[in-house]
Amino acid sequence: MKIIAFANQKGGVGKTTTTANLGAAMADKGHKVLLVDMDPQGNLSVTSGVKAHELEITIYEVLKEEIKINETIIHVDRPNGDIDLVPSNLNLSASETVLNAKPGREFLLKEALEELENEYDYILIDCPPSLGLLTINALTAAKEYIIPLASEYLALYGTSQLLQVVDIVRKRINPDLEMLGVVITQYDGRKIHCRDIVEQIQEHFGDKVFKTMIRSNISLTEAPSFGQDIFIYKDSSPGAEDYRALAEEIMKGAKV
């Protein structure tokens, strides 16, 4: 299994959009994919067409060790490749308080996912916009992580904090954790500002920046409101084209 976490403490940079649509592109290629929603907002679950607020069993109950992770999995039917989902909702917002006293609290997700060993080709984890216990659990469970960065002025602001947390996780908990890459989102090549920010990102991260950039595309914004990924919502859109190309890059580069 290849376990990849999508992390950035800044909100609105495309973490959930990227997790959902990469998972869909991988499933369309015949891979067995599990999406794990580690954000209390439950946006990945909603994007997958799940009414997260109505659920009584989510990743929260798994982290509390009340149930096994396979009891939470929801099967999402898609035309060209189905996906499995471990959902989340606002109950997860209590995790920082409830789980803080648990011994080995950083390993809760890792231990849960070990029960699914070899059942999936890819497990993609959508992290919350924070650097707390939930993100640390994701980075502990993952072999690799991807940083989505919007092509805007504040894109690089705060990434040093994320990288510091990654270094601590690698040093103390998960020495195998590596950056798979940085994906630039919300790109508009017509704007000088966007092009300048992309140059800064490329100078900062070098060859860790994926060649594929996700262009600004209204269809990517609209699709979640219908509970659909971009390939179901509008397969002919630039967003679908970009995420399909990005998936190809990642599938070539992800470690086995």
Mean per-residue pLDDT, 49-54 = 90
Q: For residue range 175-211, list pLDDT tens digits in order.
A: 999 999 999 999 988 888 889 999 999 999 999 999 9
Which residue range forms the structural domain that includes residue 234?
Answer: 2-253
- Band the pLDDT of 255: cuts 50, 70, 90: low
- Band the pLDDT of 152: cuts 50, 70, 90: confident
Pairing mode of beta strands 33-37, 83-86: parallel
Predicted confidence at residue 247, as pLDDT, reads 97
* Counted domains in the chain: 1
In three-state secondary structure terms, 76 is: strand
Q: For residue range 106-128, list pLDDT tens digits in order.
A: 999 999 999 998 899 999 999 99
**What is the C-alpha to C-alpha distance for residues 138 and 105, in angstroms, rounded to an integer?**
12
**What is the overall mean pLDDT for the chain?**
94
Backbone angles phi, psi at 218, to 5 degrees: -60, -30
Predicted confidence at residue 12, as pLDDT, reads 87
Predicted confidence at residue 100, as pLDDT, reads 87
**What is the C-alpha to C-alpha distance for residues 246 and 18, in angstroms, rounded to an integer?**
9
If you ran DSSP here, which 8-state letter would residue 213 be given?
A: -
Q: For residue range 58-108, list pLDDT tens digits in order.
A: 999 999 999 999 999 999 999 999 999 999 999 999 998 899 888 899 999
Pairing mode of beta strands 74-76, 83-86: antiparallel
Mean per-residue pLDDT, 205-221 = 95
Residue 179 belongs to domain with CATH number: 3.40.50.300
- Band the pLDDT of 256: cuts 50, 70, 90: very low
- Band the pLDDT of 231: cuts 50, 70, 90: very high
- Band the pLDDT of 236: cuts 50, 70, 90: very high
Terminal CA-CA length for the chain: 7
Predicted confidence at residue 145, as pLDDT, reads 97
Predicted confidence at residue 66, as pLDDT, reads 95
